[in-house]
């Protein structure tokens, strides 16, 4: 990545103007190399040069900032995309929600969790459900679990595991599981969760 960055700088010194594609490539590479200071500086630099960042630029930068725990900057860019009229995609929502959840900023995450219906994906819901479970907000987590079903979004193993684990740790799972036959069936297929849940809740008998 250092060589690529040096070549990028040399390119500018030679009077060759990089376009948005060039900036996207170098910013994405820097983000993946965890060189966020350089990546963020380039993001600001391209705007000063009159080059408008596109959804790819924003997504790479937001994801990198989230993973480096710079959530204030990431969330600012998320909101900036909306004010600039840049179409947010499933990557934008998923990266932002996951970062907010991992930073335990659940209030902001819940505001973000309502993307347009065409962008609602299982991975987006999984991030917020897992965050709510870890924040012990099981009522909200279980509401989203049920919402996924009513919205026709296919639940995967991560959805079930996060929800079951949260219910187990909240010691509320026997009632919830009995009220949801699908969750109950999956619960019996996950031995680790079953044992840990019973142990945590001291509920070896129903």
Tens digits of pLDDT across the chain (206 residues): 778 888 888 888 888 888 999 999 999 999 999 999 999 999 999 999 999 999 999 999 999 999 999 999 999 999 999 899 998 888 898 889 889 888 888 888 877 766 555 456 788 788 888 888 888 888 888 888 888 888 888 888 888 888 888 877 776 555 555 456 555 556 555 545 444 544 444 443 43
Domain residue limits, the chain: 1-65, 120-206
Return d(Cα 2, Cα 79) in angstroms, integer.
31
Q: What is the pLDDT of residue 195?
A: 44
Tokens of 190: 């996950």
Q: What is the pLDDT of residue 201?
A: 46
Question: How many H helices and E strands in the chain?
Answer: 13, 0
């Amino acid at each position: 990545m250092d060589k690529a960055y040096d070549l990028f700088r040399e390119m500018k010194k030679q009077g060759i103007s990089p376009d948005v594609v060039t900036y996207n490539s170098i910013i994405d590479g820097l983000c993946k190399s965890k060189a966020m200071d350089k990546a963020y500086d380039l993001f600001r630099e391209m705007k000063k040069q009159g080059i408008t960042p596109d959804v790819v630029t924003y997504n790479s930068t937001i994801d990198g900032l989230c993973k480096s725990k710079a959530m204030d900057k990431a969330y600012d860019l998320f909101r900036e995309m909306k004010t600039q009229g840049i179409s947010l995609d499933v990557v934008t929502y998923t990266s932002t929600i996951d970062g907010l959840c991992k930073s335990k900023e659940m209030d902001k995450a819940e505001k973000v969790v309502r993307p347009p219906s065409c962008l609602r994906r299982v991975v987006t819901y999984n991030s917020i459900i897992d965050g709510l479970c870890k924040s012990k907000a099981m009522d909200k987590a279980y509401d989203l679990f049920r919402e996924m079903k009513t919205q026709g979004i296919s639940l995967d193993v991560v959805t079930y595991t996060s929800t079951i684990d949260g219910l187990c740790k909240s010691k509320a799972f026997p009632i919830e599981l009995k009220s949801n036959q699908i969750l109950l069936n999956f619960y019996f297929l996950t031995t680790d969760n079953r044992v840990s849940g019973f142990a945590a809740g001291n509920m070896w008998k129903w």
